[in-house]
Amino acid sequence: MSGTQRLAAEGPVYELTGDSALLERMLLIRRFEDAVQRLFQRGEVHGTTHLYSGQEAGAVGVCAALAPGDRAAGTYRGHGHALALGVDPQGLMDELLGRASGVCGGRAGSMNVVDLRHGLVGCFGIVGGSIAAATGVALGFQRRGLENVAVAFFGEGTSNQAYFAECLNFAQVLRLPVVFVCENNRYMEFTPIEDVTAGEIPARVEALGLWNRTVDGMDVQAVRAGASEAVAHARSGAGPAFLQTLTYRFVGHSRSDPGAYRKPGELDEMRRRDPLAVERARLIEDGAADEAELDGLEARVAAYIDEVAARALEAPFPDPEAEFQEYKG
């Protein structure tokens, strides 16, 4: 794609550097979600919430492979996608609490956040909506001659939706620069995938001829490596790529789900593969950090998120009358 150019993009508000950057971003997401859960239980977050806890390696690993001007579309479990892209944690928390200082002025709530400055074209409550959005963005990139890539995050249940077959076929026919990231956490809301899905999801992708890989979604380094290959393939003009991350959510589907459908011992088994613990152990083993340094990092992130939550509770709500008068203005 010689002679092409890329869109500009604003950098992340919460900056990360150093060997522990990926761990820090995952910690940021985990502590953010912990705070959201506490605030929801207090009645401060209205509607419902779908937490990303346990799946942090997916969003962080994929977004680490992106370049300025690339775009991503998230799901209703999109807080992690937003934070991995560098969306301001304060603006995101304010948004979830319906405050005027939120990234969408307090109007998007938990499931429909948009922040184009940081590459987030939207989070979608409709299952499969992210696939259609990212495919459309990729078509726009191609027609404008831009060397950018669009990413769609979606769950394994989306593979049974029409969006999946239609958009993957469309993208492959036109060789669009899009990466489809299937976050397979084993459960379609409350239903095990094997109860309602025939065959393996990658086999459906292979039938269309897409480049595809499956990686350990509990290991951020494995995800980043796979995503780097997928993004490079899509950016080269060779067509779309498909990446399946085998992951797990540590919480219920949403606010009213205690997760009683899980197999006995399954949650405990997967917690031993906590992506935060996996990356922490790697950093220590490689000599990149020691226990004290990482304990300090965890404490700093936790304190920061506590401050974010406190400020969000003090932020003003939107004033519809004042905004209407300004609009008439």
> DSSP letter string over 196-252?
H--S-HHHHHHHHT-EEEEEETT-HHHHHHHHHHHHHHHHTTS--EEEEEE---SS-
Q: b/e per residue, 9-45, with b = 16+ CB within 10 A?
A: beebebeeeeebebbbbbbbbbbbbbbbbebbeeeeb
| CATH number of the domain located at residue range(s) 21-254+263-314 in this protein | 3.40.50.970
Please check the confidence at residue 105 and state whether its pLDDT lies above 70: yes
Distance from CA of residue 130 to its chain's centroid?
11
| pLDDT over 70 percentage in the chain | 90
Please tell me which residue, 303 or 158, carries the higher pLDDT value: 303
Say what the pLDDT of residue 47 is: 80
Cα–Cα distance list, 187 to 60, 201, 246, 271 (Å): 21, 14, 11, 16
Full-prediction pTM beyond 0.85? yes
Poorest-pLDDT segment among 48-52, 121-125, 192-196, 211-215: 192-196
Q: pLDDT band at residue 1, thresholds of 50, 70 and 90? A: very low
Digit-coded pLDDT (tens) for 202-227: 999 999 999 999 999 999 999 999 99
Average confidence (pLDDT) over 188-200: 74
Backbone angles phi, psi at 40, to 5 degrees: -65, -45
Average pLDDT on 264-292 reads 92
Q: Above 70 in pLDDT, residue 277?
A: yes
Instruction: Assign 169 a pLDDT band (cuts: 50, 70, 90).
Output: very high
Lowest model confidence (mean pLDDT) among 296-300, 313-317, 323-327 = 323-327
For residues 277 and 252, what is the distance between their CA atoms, to the nearest angstrom?
Answer: 21
Question: Of 58-67, 242-251, 282-291, which range is least confident?
Answer: 242-251
**Averaged pLDDT for residues 130-156:** 96
Interatomic CA distance for residues 4 and 19, integer angstroms: 32
Digit-coded pLDDT (tens) for 224-256: 999 999 999 999 999 999 999 999 887 767 666
